Amino acid sequence: MGAIGSLYRTTGVRGLWRGLTVIVHCTLFITHSSSAQSITGAWVGVKQELDSGFVCPLPLYLDVRADSTYTLSLIDNAARNPRATWAMNGQRLRLDTLLFEPKQVRLTDTELSLTGTTPLLFRRVQPAGSPGQNEASVRALLTNRIWQKGAARYHFHNGGQACLETAQNGDRAIRCWSVVERDGAVFIIVKGNRTDCSRNYDAPMLVEKMSGNILTVNEFVDRSTGSTLTALGALPAGKPCGAAGFQLCTTCFYAPGEQANSLDKKGPAGRFYAIRQRLQATYVPGERTGPTGVVQVRCIVNCEGQAGRFSAKTYGPDYQLLPNNQPTTNQLVTILQTYFATGWQPGRVRAIPRPLDYVATINIRLVDGHITDVFP
Amino acid sequence: MAAQAQNESLLMEQLTSRLTETARYSRPWGQVHYQNWLDSSIRAGGKDVADYTFSQGISWLEQRDYARAVPLLEEACRQKPKHHGYVGWVYLNIIRDYPRALTHYEAYDALTPDLDDREGDHAVSYLRAEIYRFMGRPAEALPGYDKAIALIEDKHGPTWVSYRYYLARGQARLAFGMAGDALSDFEKAIPNNPSSAASSYWKGRALHRLNRPAEARMAYNDALLWLRNSTVEQDRYYEEQDAVYEQQVETALAGLPKLP
């Protein structure tokens, strides 16, 4: 009870300070823009900046018409908002009832950037298709073939399943794929995970050129670059994609925002008891006097309750960070990796119906190399 | 397919509200932005530096980055001793560093020597007793529990005392060998939170110690019932240090003499 009271108090104070900073920081945005540009046209979402230095794809399509109406939809038109009106006076932009101050809007020939809580960037679509290129022809070319793009390999199965293989580690993720045409521009969309095709969009690829076994695409990523998809060969018939390696359910995972203790549940009941029992039974202190401090093991628990990407930090008696690769730490990580790679509870947040990935932390307190406490 | 359509419209809603928030608030949010803002506020100086330092410590603590959090929290206490209370709570319940927690509560309590200070919802006498109990020193814990319980019990009666107080003192009494007194504490705890698995479990332990196995069995079964129908006694922020688990109760049940 005290815990709740106290932590509420902290968040309350912090909330207040955040509120204050809204006022302070308003003055810091200095944007250079020219009001001569027209916002009319088709825009594709490039990125949403969820924190300084952390961006995710923005799977939106913004169609701004000259008759003062616009439509906002998902890039593949899987969902759309009703048509609404827009207005632009100088740099002040109104989208339906949303008002963006001049300092929040930066409009150039090719880019529209909106700053605020989550800065958003859109890029203008300039369809430049080759003759005969349309949704059906691109889909037909991609289907049932393996394509290489940089270090990634895409298996585009008939029926919408995609298998995404990473060259470095051989991991294979099950995704969904489709080809959509928006106002004459053809996009290749890869999204979803093995349980759900409805979110987790990768940056859309705008098809620019098709020639034989090579597709030239323009990816809607931060720095616009052309890439090529090269056909490697046909998919073996009747062989579905099999996932390989530890995988998160979200493709854009921000660890600082996904701590276990911000979720409703940290693990199945008895998890920490089981961890304590296992460590007490399996851990062997070294022969010489061992370390005093805290070993902090972290792993990511995916939405299916599997744990992976274990890492550890070792703190000394005064919480100073000690160098990596301590034998005690390595032993503890190995035990946890061996016995607790599965059986976690997927993350839940009350307002979100689907299970979530999160970071789980296991702290092990040691005195002279002996475990005295294990805590979340 | 219906589920997929529903998820897609949820995503659309989420992205639309992101656009709305962005229009409404001109300052970008996020952990790194917040840390940067605190950094610059601390550098700017002024009377609130201790509070900014404290908030920065808490923010790193939320990320479980002790190497960054601990020096900031200690510094905040040096600058503004009132922070000792909350920082003591952090050491007690989040980092579970009991000697440090004790130092901070001592410093906090010393700010007003004549008063049993409160930190959050609890009297410092109770929190200090908790520390002694978790350090395995029940004899030193008992006076603190007595003081904190008497404060409420004498004025308002036992139904107004948090079940956690009785549960805690009962465990300290049991550890100290006072099984009868411990049982009376657990019996006072249960009406104040009838679905507490820990209270039933510890009542069973006291009864077992008093050689009343039939009643102990009943208490353990009560504990199992609550454990199977609710989560372990923990709140959003930390697991209770004395949380009881099914396996523990099963072991205790197995330790009772066989039924005839």
Cross-chain residue pair A319–B20, CB shorter than 8 Å: no
For chain B, say whether A87 makes contact (Cβ under 8 Å): no
Per residue in B34-49, pLDDT (tens digit) is 999 999 999 999 999 9
B124–chain A nearest CA distance, Å: 11
Cross-chain residue pair B238–A376, CB shorter than 8 Å: yes
Task: Work out the pLDDT band at B259, boundaries 50, 70, 90.
Answer: confident
pLDDT at residue B73 greater than cutoff 90: yes
Task: Work out the pLDDT band at A268, boundaries 50, 70, 90.
Answer: low
pLDDT of residue A60: 98
Cross-chain residue pair B238–A73, CB shorter than 8 Å: no
Residues of B in contact with A274 (CB under 8 A): 247
Per residue in B205-255, pLDDT (tens digit) is 999 999 999 999 999 999 999 988 876 565 545 678 888 888 899 999 999
A145–chain B nearest CA distance, Å: 26
pLDDT of residue A25: 39
> Which ranges of A183-326 would DSSP assign to H, the alpha helix?
271-282
Other beta carbons within 10 Å of A156: 25
pLDDT of residue B30: 92
pLDDT of residue B234: 58
Dmax (CA) for chain A in angstroms is 80
Q: What is the mean pLDDT of residues B140-157?
A: 95
Task: Work out the pLDDT band at A262, boundaries 50, 70, 90.
Answer: low
Q: Do A172 and A163 contact (CB within 8 A), yes or no?
A: yes
Cross-chain residue pair B18–A117, CB shorter than 8 Å: yes
pLDDT of residue A338: 97
Q: Tell me which residue in B11, B241, B243 faces A74 most closely, judged by beta carbons.
A: B11
Q: Tell me which residue in B70, B71, B96 faces A373 most closely, judged by beta carbons.
A: B96
Report how many Cβ contacts below 8 Å link chain A to chain B.
Answer: 214
pLDDT at residue A237 greater than cutoff 80: no
pLDDT higher at A263 or A298: A298
Quote the CA–CA distance of B42 and B79 in Å, as a whole number.
12
First to last CA, chain B: 59
Q: Which of residues 113-172 of B touch A (CB under 8 A)?
A: 119-122, 127, 162, 164
Per residue in A296-339, pLDDT (tens digit) is 999 999 999 899 999 999 999 999 999 988 899 999 999 999 99
Residue A64 token pair: 């701004």
CA separation, residue B165 to residues A49, B137, B148, B174, B189 (Å) = 47, 17, 8, 14, 8
Q: What is the mean pLDDT of residues A118-144?
A: 88
- Least confident range of A78-87, A231-240, B143-152: A231-240
Q: What is the mean pLDDT of residues A111-127?
A: 93
For chain A, say whether B50 makes contact (Cβ under 8 Å): no
Task: Work out the pLDDT band at A273, boundaries 50, 70, 90.
Answer: confident
Q: Tell me which residue in A17, A270, A313 faces B246 most closely, judged by beta carbons.
A: A270
Residues of A in contact with B239 (CB under 8 A): 266, 272, 375-376
Q: What is the mean pLDDT of residues A106-124?
A: 96
Q: DSSP per residue over chain B, as a string? A: -HHHHHHHHHHHHHHHHHHHHHHH--S--SHHHHHHHHHHHHHH-STTHHHHHHHHHHHHHHTT-HHHHHHHHHHHHHH-TTHHHHHHHIIIIIS--HHHHHHHHHHHHHTSTTS--EETTEEHHHHHHHHHHHTT-HHHHHHHHHHHHHHHHHHH-GGGS-HHHHHHHHHHHHHTT-HHHHHHHHHHHHHHSTT-HHHHHHHHHHHHHTT-HHHHHHHHHHHHHHHHHS--SB-SS-B-TT---HHHHHHHHHTSPPP-
Quote the CA–CA distance of B192 and B200 in Å, as a whole number.
12
Q: Tell me which residue in B11, B59, B119 faces A79 most closely, judged by beta carbons.
A: B11
pLDDT of residue B239: 74
pLDDT of residue B121: 81
Residues of A in contact with B28 (CB under 8 A): 25, 49, 51-52, 115-119
For chain A, say whether B184 makes contact (Cβ under 8 Å): no
B123–chain A nearest CA distance, Å: 10
Q: pTM (2 decimals)?
A: 0.86
Cross-chain residue pair B23–A60, CB shorter than 8 Å: no
Q: Are strands B118-119 and A352-356 parallel, antiparallel or unpaired?
A: unpaired
CA separation, residue A329 to residues A74, A104, A271, A281, A317 (Å) = 46, 48, 20, 16, 15
Quote the CA–CA distance of A176 and A337 in Å, as a whole number.
30
Cross-chain residue pair A81–B26, CB shorter than 8 Å: no
Q: Which of residues 65-84 of A touch B (CB under 8 A)?
A: 72-74, 78-81
For chain B, say whether A347 makes contact (Cβ under 8 Å): no
Other beta carbons within 10 Å of A94: 16
